[in-house]
Chains A and B, each alone.
Chain A
Amino acid sequence: MSPIPTPAQAASIAPAATSPDLLRNFCIIAHIDHGKSTLADRMLQLTGVVDERAMRAQYLDRMEIERERGITIKSQAVRMPWVAEVDGAQRAFALNMIDTPGHVDFTYEVSRSLAACEGAVLLVDAAQGIEAQTLANLYLAMEQDLHIIPVLNKIDLPAAQPERYAEEIAGLVGGDPGDVLRVSGKTGEGVTELLDRIVHEVPAPVGDADSAARAMIFDSVYDTYRGVVTYVRVVDGHLSPRERILMMSTRATHELLEIGVISPEPVPTKGLGVGEVGYLITGVKDVRHSKVGDTVTNQSRPAPHALAEYHDPKPMVFSGLYPIDGSDYPDLRDALDKLKLNDAALAYEPETSVALGFGFRVGFLGLLHLEIVRERLEREFDLDLISTAPNVVYTVTMEDRSVITVTNPSEFPGGKIHEVREPVVRATILAPSEYIGAIMELCQTRRGELLGMDYLSPERVEMRYTLPLAEIVFDFFDQLKSKTKGYASLDYEQAGDQVSDLVKVDILLQGEQVDAFSAIVHKDKAYGYGVMMAAKLKELIPRQQFEVPIQAAVGSRVIARETVRALRKDVLAKCYGGDITRKRKLLEKQKEGKKRMKTIGRVDVPQEAFIAALSTDSGKEQAKK
């Protein structure tokens, strides 16, 4: 019997007319490259939503970057029909697969996606086992009482160890290792069974069809042609085309120009009822008007209470973004304005740096968010950018009890400071147990405090730490990977803030502060940072006609010093006949080069030197986790 519905069966699951008990809303929780997209592709094929020819690999990941990185930034929801035997009869069901972002930077978005589901497929690579990231999202899902279907993927791989990892998973979610489904997204093995289990195990949504409409926004995406496309899960009541809706957090009202489901392209419908998942179009142009987590209701009959309290996304990590070519500044501004339409979490303000010129201080949810934004700016808008070392937000209370929020280290106040607070995170590290010592050592140097440690199996351990966020935004993940031969995985979540003994280290060239290199560091690390940065700049700053002292200072106290010796010789020895043309051309070239120099006091520094001093691969590596 075909699992794809007949026309008669299909009528029972028509959008806006489907009984909630025929709906199943689920998501897939997986680590990147554990095969979520391939599995989703296979489901789309088996349910007949996408035919073989139309199949685009990893259909759900729309953006180019997502496809290349193999990660999903923006979630989507696809409605798939599926016929399964229930109580001895073949019945058609509508399955909504809600794709979740897989990264901690987007924890809030993940939690909203999970809130739209009743069940979750926990997908684990049968050759690699569960990763810290997956664990974090699994906890979130279990907290929301989602039904978990554990699945081992890639069982076709020769390196697969399904027995071993089935045991690990069963240990985490409870149940028998034998209940862990084994599939291969690649060959399709086990996927039909998985779809059947979704129907049988995931609870049907429950809601009040007669009460005022309440739908939760779990994603909103800007589309050049349609404006903002808002993804919702209807909890109570019904939404219909052409009616006016109300956004409960902003009290803004909009006309519902279009409402529908994705299958896998948008299909307008007569509305959405209890438990259904679909999209809304209101003509707004900015995702800030359709906020993830907000509740949509009818304007004429508004619901008295929103579904959950709405949280504005809060930038956790800041970095200065500057065009390498100063004349690209207006293009950078336009590009950020455009990205903002599709990224409610992106925050930025113009900023000027002596070393780097005109740019923006940009706030991000985390390092991956930073890296994605930067990459999109470079790729989609063809900009060459330099970013300053990422920093967190500090809250400085002065002795007069005035409070200053610092998002740029060079704005750290001088004068009498009462206390400085910095954000901390709760980090979870999963690694083979042989690396416990190395991990403890690393976390200790990063001011970490061990909260606890559990063995997932005799070979694998979960370590929990409190760490200052500032300590992990800079090359922590790199270090973790290198100390564990790449085996450790990391996840973290915000855990408030703490008072710390922090100081600002300034870097001075010939007594002039170079703003881009100021850093806020723990008092014990100020010396190390100063020595490192002074030495780095000494190598990068070309010799001048005079001696250039490079100093690192905390306030007026110099903690490290290097000297770029004066240039003694800058003259062409011979200048006869044919040398003259060469010499003039060289001079013209040097003068051109000088235009690209930044002048700090009297010191000419090529922009490349600043870029090299700021460059670190750690941001990129971190993003790839």
Chain B
Amino acid sequence: MARLPDGEPVPSDGALPPWLADVPPAAAGLGLYLHVPFCRVRCGYCDFTTYTAAELGGGGDQARYAQTAAREVALAAGVLGAVGRARPVTSVFFGGGTPTLLPPGGLAVLLGAVRDELGVEPDAEVTTEANPDSVGAADLEALAEAGFTRVSFGMQSAVTHVLGVLDRTHDPARVPEVVRWARDAGLAVSLDLIYGTPGESVDDWRTSVEAALETGVDHVSAYALVIEEGTRMGALVRRGVLAAPDPDDQAAKYELADDLLTAAGLDWYEVSNWARPGAACRHNEAYWRGADWWGVGPGAHSHVGGPDASVRWWNVKHPRPYAEALADGRTPAAGREVLGADEVALERVLLGVRMSGGLALDELSAAGRHAVAGLVADGLLEGVAAVRGRAVLTRRGRLLADAVVRSLTD
């Protein structure tokens, strides 16, 4: 699992620095992320905070998780309220793990807690992630009933041998079915895809993207497979059992996906996300705009800030100490970092430039603005957008976004 950053300690009541009360948020809205740290099986490539029943050794309590997490929602209302940032949320996102593994009604209970403690804006986007094989038509209807507006399915691939390497257990034929049920229930649907899995051919990938588009979804996220240290797949690659992903192959697949998705009417709005007009994920956009968001659950991160400074913190990773802290009335936060003006500015560039709207050039330092002409000449930034005062990545620039960010923040 990904290691938590090193940071400074957090007061036991979770209180935020009082100066936050005196500055405006960097962007509008308040997002709430709810992490559900359970999976039936752990996938070989996954380094998220998640546990199978076996890994928890019986001590973790999936049944009572919703109640525990609800306590953190209450804590959030108090901590945000103390600095004047408590307000109805504009988006809620249940991720994991596998949120739909919670006992029936668990997600609805948690959403209810959010409604009670903070409030939910009437037009809020409420998403949950789901595995194609862990939900049925009735579950999806129940979610819609409870106030969910959107579901994101972990499709990953439509090709059986690729799914096998990823340890995904679902039958590809199940995907169009669950998408139809979700749409019938009135939910917006997104599909997640992974490209560059060892053994995946370009044709395999084309098959997957086309299969995703055939379901008629409005939103697709496509991620290059990253081999993380400490995962089972990482060990297999290190031992030479699996080939490491080839960045050139991944670049070609990115371009293929971009071609197919664009042709189908889904435009890129972030480096790894495509949507029809109006179907972008607002919750995720809040991350990239530097808005306030609270992450509930083990290992979840939160961010509250202003234009020139902000605070980010993260919770303990294991569900047991997480539950114990909340039961004792303490914050489950493990550490935090306070970002100064330079760091906030750096993050604004590195996040902002990933979006199709790009970044206003006046957000850049003098050296960063100086680099723009060269980046346009190299075909990494759009020339017309630059003339109009914004740094917008070309397609080649999207594939080299990290290099662009380094140049823009020199």
Q: Judge whether A584 and B347 touch: CB under 8 Å.
A: yes
Whole-angstrom CA separation of A568 from B263 in the bound complex = 22
Tell whether A304 is near chain B: CB-to-CB under 8 Å.
no
Q: Judge whether B312 and A570 touch: CB under 8 Å.
A: no
Tell whether A577 is near chain B: CB-to-CB under 8 Å.
yes
Contact partner of B2 among A567, A572, A582, CB < 8 A? Answer: A582
Q: Judge whether B380 and A577 touch: CB under 8 Å.
A: no
Q: Judge whether A581 and B406 touch: CB under 8 Å.
A: no
Q: Which of A376-384, A397-405, A493-501, A585-593 is found at the contact surface with chain B?
A: A585-593
A contact residues, range: 20 to 34
Tell whether B322 is near chain A: CB-to-CB under 8 Å.
no
Q: Is the interface of A mostly helix, strand, loop or mixed?
A: loop
Tell whether A573 is near chain B: CB-to-CB under 8 Å.
yes
Looking at the assembled complex, report how far the CB atom of B222 sits from the nearest CB atom of chain A, in whole angstroms: 8
Q: Judge whether B226 and A573 touch: CB under 8 Å.
A: yes
Whole-angstrom CA separation of A575 from B224 in the bound complex = 12
Contact with A along B395-410 (1 / 0, CB 8 A): 0001111110110011
Given A568-B247, A568-B248, A568-B251, are A545 and B401 neighbors across the interface (CB < 8 Å)?
A: no
Given A577-B33, A578-B299, are A584 and B287 neighbors across the interface (CB < 8 Å)?
A: no
Tell whether A69 is near chain B: CB-to-CB under 8 Å.
no
13 more contacts with CB within 8 A, not counting A578-B2, A580-B351, are A567-B403, A568-B400, A570-B247, A570-B401, A571-B401, A572-B401, A573-B226, A577-B295, A577-B303, A578-B295, A578-B314, A580-B347, A584-B343
Q: Judge whether A584 and B350 touch: CB under 8 Å.
A: yes
Tell whether B301 is near chain A: CB-to-CB under 8 Å.
yes
Tell whether B284 is near chain A: CB-to-CB under 8 Å.
yes
**List of B residues within 8 angstroms of A569 by Cβ:** 224, 247-248, 250-251, 254, 399-400
Tell whether B346 is near chain A: CB-to-CB under 8 Å.
yes
Tell whether A251 is near chain B: CB-to-CB under 8 Å.
no
Q: Judge whether A570 and B350 touch: CB under 8 Å.
A: no
Q: Judge whether A546 and B402 touch: CB under 8 Å.
A: no
Tell whether B268 is near chain A: CB-to-CB under 8 Å.
no
Of listed A567, A570, A571, A578, residue having the most chain B CB within 10 A: A571
**List of A residues within 8 angstroms of B380 by Cβ:** 545
Whole-angstrom CA separation of A568 from B287 in the bound complex = 26
With CB as the reference atom, state the residue of chain B lying closest to A546.
B378
Tell whether A225 is near chain B: CB-to-CB under 8 Å.
no
**List of A residues within 8 angstroms of B251 by Cβ:** 568-569
**List of B residues within 8 angstroms of A576 by Cβ:** 284, 287
**List of A residues within 8 angstroms of B347 by Cβ:** 580, 584
Q: Judge whether A587 and B409 touch: CB under 8 Å.
A: yes
Tell whether A447 is near chain B: CB-to-CB under 8 Å.
no
Tell whether A583 is near chain B: CB-to-CB under 8 Å.
yes
With CB as the reference atom, state the residue of chain B lying closest to A594.
B406
Q: Judge whether B293 and A577 touch: CB under 8 Å.
A: yes
**List of B residues within 8 angstroms of A585 by Cβ:** 5
Tell whether A574 is near chain B: CB-to-CB under 8 Å.
yes
Q: Judge whether B346 and A581 touch: CB under 8 Å.
A: no
Q: Judge whether B226 and A584 touch: CB under 8 Å.
A: no
Q: Judge whether B399 and A577 touch: CB under 8 Å.
A: no
**List of B residues within 8 angstroms of A577 by Cβ:** 33, 287, 293, 295, 300-301, 303
Tell whether B101 is near chain A: CB-to-CB under 8 Å.
no
Tell whether B167 is near chain A: CB-to-CB under 8 Å.
no
Tell whether B354 is near chain A: CB-to-CB under 8 Å.
yes
With CB as the reference atom, state the residue of chain A lying closest to B396.
A568
Q: Judge whether A584 and B33 touch: CB under 8 Å.
A: no
Looking at the assembled complex, report how far the CB atom of B291 sits from the nearest CB atom of chain A, in whole angstroms: 12
**List of B residues within 8 angstroms of A567 by Cβ:** 247, 400, 403
Q: Judge whether A582 and B402 touch: CB under 8 Å.
A: no
**List of B residues within 8 angstroms of A568 by Cβ:** 247-248, 251-252, 399-400
Tell whether B139 is near chain A: CB-to-CB under 8 Å.
no
Q: Judge whether A583 and B224 touch: CB under 8 Å.
A: no
With CB as the reference atom, state the residue of chain B lying closest to A544.
B403
**Quick one: which of A267-292 are within 8 Å of B by CB?**
none
Whole-angstrom CA separation of A572 from B254 in the bound complex = 13
Whole-angstrom CA separation of A503 from B41 in the bound complex = 66
Looking at the assembled complex, report how far the CB atom of A214 sits from the nearest CB atom of chain B, in whole angstroms: 69
Looking at the assembled complex, report how far the CB atom of A605 sits from the nearest CB atom of chain B, in whole angstroms: 15
**List of B residues within 8 angstroms of A575 by Cβ:** 271, 287-288, 350-351, 354
Tell whether B337 is near chain A: CB-to-CB under 8 Å.
yes
**List of B residues within 8 angstroms of A546 by Cβ:** 378
Tell whether B223 is near chain A: CB-to-CB under 8 Å.
yes
With CB as the reference atom, state the residue of chain A lying closest to B400.
A570
